[in-house]
Amino acid sequence: MSTGFSKEELERYSRHLIIPEFNIEGQRKLKEAKVLVIGTGGLGSPVLLYLAAAGIGHIGILDFDVVDDSNLQRQVLFSVDDVGKPKAEVAKARLEKLNPHIDFTVHNEKLTSENALEIISQYDLVADGTDNFPTRYLVNDACVILGKTNVYASIFRFEGQVSVFNYQYEDGTFGPNYRDLFPTPPPPGLVPSCAEGGVLGILPGTVGSFQANEVIKVISGIGEPLVGRLFLYDALRFDTRTLKIKKNPNTPKIEELIDYQQFCGIGGKEDVVANVKEISVLDLKKWREEEKDFQLIDVREPYEYDIANLDGELIPQKTVKDRLSKISSDRDVVIHCRSGKRSAEVIESLEEKGFRNLYNLKGGILAWANEIDANMAKY
């Protein structure tokens, strides 16, 4: 009687097969499953590695970004040879070498309200490894509409969390979804991204492994998935907590996808600085070459300044209100940060106090590193 597995597969998965609670039936469920991993970054890297190694039969890889030097501190799918290449394509090539017995589909595109339902409908389950609120709500709502389980995780600095949303019970009912836990997103700017706030490199490996564990439990039917529970992990204290989540009767019925940037109060990059005057890095370089009389202010934190700076005067954002006398009022002032977001916020607050001579450096340090000085750290 055929097992449905080749001799090579039986040898590969032998440590699964000898687990009484898992055995060949659990492995067969993994082989028959189709899982979409959204994001190949800090969380997506370990999730993809362990799901591929475990034998998930078909894995979808969705990411529209390219590999950057700053990714290599935590995104263990990639190497220095991959910098500048599409993450989804690199991930597929790496995973095919890890397990040649499974299939991969690459979605080298951004998940949007226009394509989410079509893409997610092709899979049995979604592992959400994204790092921003608009995409988290988009993934959640698409999963609710399609009746798909959403295995969620997030990380920040030293902390991570994991849960299983929209899980379908045997009676056909569904467990809580992301909106039952977070009915509305936080105000824009309140929760910094990993790029702005940082993350301990080992943390996504730990939390991503927890996330992959939940995917395997849901598919194989073993154990108790984190349904109706939110697992919290603090790497600094090595402390864990598990909070209960209940379905919220006030959560609105989700019937269609919306504009999630607008829902989260986030505009495009142009909208962030729409109300302030800007100067490009090329213009700033020209001002310097012409020896124009102007003031350059850096509103990042001291540790960021130590990594890379433009020789501007350091006035961290949180100290600006107490150092107004340091800001010139009789000549042009260029204010910058890493990407242009914090500096735009500073300018808006200063203009409320009467300043009219301020320019935001469009793109910040990142733009200077990309367009002017390739040797500068992108920080």
For tokens 């564990």, name the residue. Answer: 213
d(CA 83, CA 159): 27
The catalytic site residues sit at 194, 337
Q: Where are the alpha helices (DSSP H) in 64-125?
A: 87-98, 116-120
- Evaluate the CA torsion angle 209, 214, 217, 219 in order and state its sign: negative
- Tell me if 347 sits within 8 A of 340, measured CB to CB: no
**Burial grade of 15 (CB within 10 A; 0-12, 13-18, 19 or more):** exposed
- Closest C-alpha to 101, from 36, 3, 8: 8
d(CA 141, CA 117): 9
- Closest C-alpha to 366, from 290, 306, 280: 280
Helix (H, G, I), strand (E, B) or coil at 70: helix
User: Residue 316 is which amino acid?
Assistant: P
For tokens 């030097």, name the residue. Answer: 69
